[in-house]
Amino acid sequence: MKSSRKAGLLTTTLIAATMFTFLGSIAGSISWFNYVTKATMSYSGTSVTVGEQLQIGIKTDKNLSSYGLTTEVIDAVSYAWAQPGKGLDSDAINGYLELSGYATNELRPVSSNEYHYGDTLSLTECLIAGHAQNDNIATKNQYVQIPFVFRIIRTNEVSESPNYYARNQKVWISGADANPKNILTDGEIYKSIRVHVNGDTKYIFNPSAEGGAASNAVGGLLDLNDDGFYDHDDSDNEIVYGHVTNPSAARTYYATESDFVDVNGVGNTDPSTFVGKHFPGVYGYDSMDALSPLEADYETLNSIKPIDDGTGVLSGGKQICTTANTVSALGEATLTIYIEGWDHHVVNEEISHKFNLGLTFQINRVD
């Protein structure tokens, strides 16, 4: 065996842009299957800017006053609020992440494993060479998680009014900008970024994907030790990593060394963690058809953004949250940002590449 490793009047729209600008480089090997690997992401350019009606904050009991946020306790729960229209700057976001034990300047590739719309997210750590699965839960310092809170101010109401905050108003993600920091030199690692939304419903969002909702496989053959061959065990069976429907599907015997074979559907035969050759004398697979890997479904901007009716009124899409029908009228959505290790862009060729991610929140203006 190889050792390897909606209520109220709806008029014009109001935009709140959240620019999670990850400016760091990817350090070391980023094959997610290596437990020491990491993808470095700097939050130095992160900001959350909002319009005058929208106030944004973080649900937390951490003291973020030194970052210009105001703590308010509502129904025995603490929130750290930015001033209306001022947004959250990078220092405030970094401060929350550091105090809460989440990743601040680096993310490590993890996996959602099988996932479908509405599921609860459970991230697991990287695979261990020679072991088909690793179900160890990822630790907080391997990803980013921010419990955002929103409220919408009615500017024609006094602050003491029970109608000061607009109720039953939806908040959407209406824009996403995922790209390399330098289009000429920084590769495509940004395509592996995923955002899990936990609000009115739950879904994974792929900010770089075009078209409609899609999925990625979370099982297959891998070359973990970078020797050019798919890994096999002591019984000369190629190791099926991750999660598949038919792990005992009939195998093919390869008497001689094969050419590079795109078993995992990468779309090319360039050698990588996901593309290898069959070692002579092993039993394996030329495609994943018989194994039928499980899938992690994800949404795209086209499948979640709201529809403008032409007059500035938004509807449809998949809102992340809705402000409550209470006096405080809070809307809450937790966003988890991580690198999906089963994305075919998580390969060693992306070492030291840099990437940016920006998201735009949007609401309907209320009077």
- pLDDT 10s digits, 277-292: 999 999 999 999 999 9
pLDDT recorded at residue 205: 97
Nearest to 123 by CA among 43, 194, 60, 207: 194
pLDDT single digits (tens) 119-158: 999 999 988 888 899 999 999 998 989 999 999 888 778 8
Q: What is the mean pLDDT of the chain?
A: 83
pLDDT recorded at residue 125: 92
pLDDT recorded at residue 104: 75
Q: Beta 355-364 vs 331-339: how paired, if at all?
A: unpaired
Q: Which amino acid is at 359?
A: L
pLDDT recorded at residue 264: 96
Nearest to 171 by CA among 21, 367, 360: 360
Show the beta-strand stretches assigned E in 20-129.
Answer: 39-40, 47-49, 54-59, 70-74, 77-81, 88-89, 106-107
Whether residue 11 contacts residue 364, with contact meaning beta carbons closer than 8 Å, is answered with yes
Q: Structure tokens of 194?
A: 């995923």
Whether residue 205 contacts residue 298, with contact meaning beta carbons closer than 8 Å, is answered with yes
pLDDT recorded at residue 52: 53
pLDDT recorded at residue 340: 94
Q: Beta 144-152 vs 331-339: how paired, if at all?
A: antiparallel
pLDDT recorded at residue 309: 85
pTM of the model: 0.86
* Residue ranges covered by each domain of the chain: 13-216+299-364, 220-293
Estimate to the nearest angstrom the gap between the alpha carbon of 283 and the chain centroid: 35
Nearest to 279 by CA among 314, 207, 348, 231: 231
Give every residue of the chain whose pLDDT is below 50, as ranges.
1-51
